[in-house]
Structure 1
Amino acid sequence: MSTRFATTSIAASLVTGALLCSAATPALAESTALRPKPAARALTYTYRVAAPRFLPDGTPSDARGSAAVGISDDGRVVGNAGSGSDPVRGAAFVGDGRRNRWLAMPPAQSTGQPKVNAVAPNGLIAGYFGGPAEAITVWNRAGRPQLKPIAEGWNYGLNAAAINSRGQVVGCTSSVKTGTPVRWEADGTSTVLLMPKPGNCEMAGISESGVAVGTLHNPYYADRTLFPLPVQVTADGVRYLRTARRGAAAASAHGISPNGRLIIGTLGSCLGKDACQPAWLSATRAPQPLRGAGRLVPTDVNDAGLVVGSAGGRAKSWQRGRLVDLTNATRLPRGWVITSAAGVSARGEIAATAMTPAGSSVALRLSPR
């Protein structure tokens, strides 16, 4: 393994037809003109619990304590469950609501616990495994893990944020309040890409062609007129995305579509009581706010432009100016609230997490009707 560095024609026809026949059949023409437009069909979802109902040690859990992080194009949700302080009870899972299972530990590990962060459209899973052989881990579609270590000195604060169907992984490594993006190729080689200026990086997604997006956070001081800054990362280096005013407005990148044509993000800072606005981002064009999206904080987008995220503690979806509250759109057990949506597949299925009245989280797969 090596490590290298790199710095409306139908409507017109109907009207024309109505006018032509109006002299012969005035009643028909009048009824056509007064007929109201059909209402848009309400978008509704069915749900399935995506996590195993028993912990790895056999303890019944009914999937409580689980949270979804992503979904593949065949509808398999990946996520984490259990206690983060207990290596037996803390574990990663994959499931479609019919067959849910725990992910295997890497052979080199006898202690520690896996944490998954992302899944590719084809089902490859990326995460991190703490323990004696601390490293990025990739699970294949059969659930077999493979470690992807990094050169000594770059493994502090290591994480894997996104993976594509080629097996390319992108994440960040950090040291003393500064961080930098890291890419792992399918063959195991890694590339540390130094930032143009100091900062803490947070990667958000990677396209099927290997273009990744993320956000640079300033580590030294809080200046929300300048930071955060969205970035685009390729094997050649780091490039800034356009903000509302060049170099003078905060923005963040939250995801990129598999085909790489859509980058979803926010304008302004989303920290604390600050308000941010969802928008399409680009390296060459000014940001375009999402009409009708309110204060949605997005997490993912598919090639069709279906965006998922959350606002006001509730998960929502947005497409072509239509904002949908996923809790209201899904027939759930009484008292359940879908609080987050982590990913969306090509078919519009959503990886989501709900909270029960008892305060437990449950990972779900939402399927459009």
Structure 2
Amino acid sequence: MKANSIIKGNETIIERKLYDPKSPNASTGILNGQSSNVLNWDDVRYPWAYPLYKQMLANFWTPFEINMSSDRKQYAELSSDEQESFNKIIGLLAFLDSIQTDYAGRVANYITDSSLTALMTVLGFQEVVHNQSYSYVLSSLVDKSKQDEIFEYWKHDNVLRERNEFIIDGYDAFTKNPTPETFLRSIVYDVVLEGLNFYSGFSFFYNLARNQKMVSTSTMINYINRDEQLHVHLFTKIFDAVREEFSLDVREANEFVEKTFMEAADLEIKWGNYILGDRFPGISSTELDAYIKFMANKRVNQLGGNRPYPDHRKNPMPWIKAYESINDGKSDFFEQKSRQYTKVSDDNGFDDL
């Protein structure tokens, strides 16, 4: 699939200066703008930046807070299929969050707004925490040689590599040729990564938890999920700002978003059938396929496009809402009964578009 150009002009994006005493503190633009690079949260260009910063800080957590003793016992009792999927999904997440950490730093180098650079720095830190959490989970469950093997999966598993390289190609186009066009496209791939590619894996862990298995791992995944939702929100706001400031052709941008997510959904469905299939009660391949299309619709809508799957406007796995959602106030990690026995109702279980 060859995407259409989504922004007129291929001017090079210049990396921001370390400081500029001749420029205002509040930036004049998101890319190739003028800014002193001094951050004053009471003098910023984008009014949504500070509330988002506070929310990202309020989400702070570390994996060391989570007691893995019960999961250590339960992991040995999982079926061979459950263990295999558990390991491969952890390997996938470790790869994606590793790349995401680097991508966030590269994006920050070109954003000429100190408040958004700060947000990108917090985002990158959170991705480091996510990545470390996968090591923490595995070190609690398997020996070092098995952990090393799991972290190598992405190199040798063809299905996993195919979906990962789809994202990497989008990122590479930006890092090798930083223009407004490649920057904007890379954001679309970012929203695919953080807003779609995690979700079949997340559903696996949540399905284990609702069967009282590996609840501590599911708790950690829940907090990662919460962070990723904020990351998607941040990048969609940046996407909107770039479109507005560069007088982007909205029709062409939406077309690119829709086509990219359709291809991404196909790859995610292929991965979901490969890693889960119909092997686990509670998640059928039909439901998972529909859920992926539902999530693709949701992300395309956030980016301003038209939903590519008009027949998938309702969450086909309503039970998952109880695991994706979490209160703003942090609960005690060691008292997880409320998550283990959450009952899905019409209020917390159904998500329509």
TM-score, normalised with respect to structure 1: 0.26
Who wins on radius of gyration, i.e. which is larger? Answer: 1
- Greater RCO, 1 or 2 (C-alpha within 8 Å, sep 6+): 2
